[in-house]
Chains A and B, each alone.
Chain A
Amino acid sequence: DAKTTQPTSMDCAEGRAANLPCNHSTISGNEYVYWYRQIHSQGPQYIIHGLKNNETNEMASLIITEDRKSSTLILPHATLRDTAVYYCIVRAYTGNQFYFGTGTSLTVIP
Chain B
Amino acid sequence: DTEVTQTPKHLVMGMTNKKSLKCEQHMGHRAMYWYKQKAKKPPELMFVYSYEKLSINESVPSRFSPECPNSSLLNLHLHALQPEDSALYLCASSQGSGTSRSTDTQYFGPGTRLTVL
Chain A residues at the B interface, C-beta cutoff of 8 Å: 30, 32, 34, 36, 41-46, 49, 51, 87, 91, 93-103
Task: Please determine whether A43 and B48 come into contact, CB atoms closer than 8 angstroms.
Answer: no
Which of B44, B101, B109 is close to A30, meaning CB atoms less than 8 Å apart? B101
Docked-complex contact A87 and B42, CB < 8 angstroms? yes
Q: Is the CB of B45 within 8 A of A41?
A: no
User: What 5 pairs across the A-B complex have the smallest Cβ distances?
Assistant: A43-B108, A100-B42, A44-B108, A43-B110, A96-B31
A97 touches B42 (CB 8 A): no
The verdict on B71 contacting chain A, using a C-beta distance below 8 Å, is: no
Q: Which residues does chain A contribute within 8 Å of B97, judged by CB atoms?
A: 96
**Chain A residues with Cβ under 8 A from B105's Cβ?**
34, 46, 49
* B50 close to A (CB within 8 Å): yes
- In the complex with contacts A49-B103, A91-B104, A43-B45 CB distance below 8 A: no
Cα A41 to Cα B111 in complex, Å, equals 8
Cross-chain contact A43 with B90 (CB below 8 angstroms)? yes
In the complex, what residues of A have CB within 8 A of residue B43's CB? 44, 100
Do A43 and B106 touch (CB < 8 A)? no
Q: What is the CA–CA distance of A43 and B21 in the complex, to the nearest angstrom?
A: 15
A87-B42, A96-B106, A97-B56 provided; 12 other pairs, C-beta below 8 A?
A: A43-B92, A43-B111, A44-B90, A45-B108, A91-B103, A91-B104, A94-B101, A95-B56, A96-B31, A97-B48, A98-B45, A98-B106
Interface contact B101-A95, CB-CB below 8 Å: no
Which residues of chain B are near A44, meaning CB under 8 Å?
A: 43, 90, 108
Report chain B residues within 8 Å CB of A102: 42
B77 within 8 A of A: no
B88/A101 in contact, CB under 8 A: no
A94 and B102 CA atoms in complex are apart in Å by 10
Known contacts A43-B111, A44-B108: A96-B94 contact under CB 8 Å: yes
Task: Give the nearest-CB partner of A46 in chain B.
Answer: B105
Bound CA–CA A49/B110 (angstroms): 21
Report chain A residues within 8 Å CB of B96: 96
| In the bound complex, CA of A101 to CA of B33 (Å) | 17
Chain B, residue nearest A105 (CB): B40
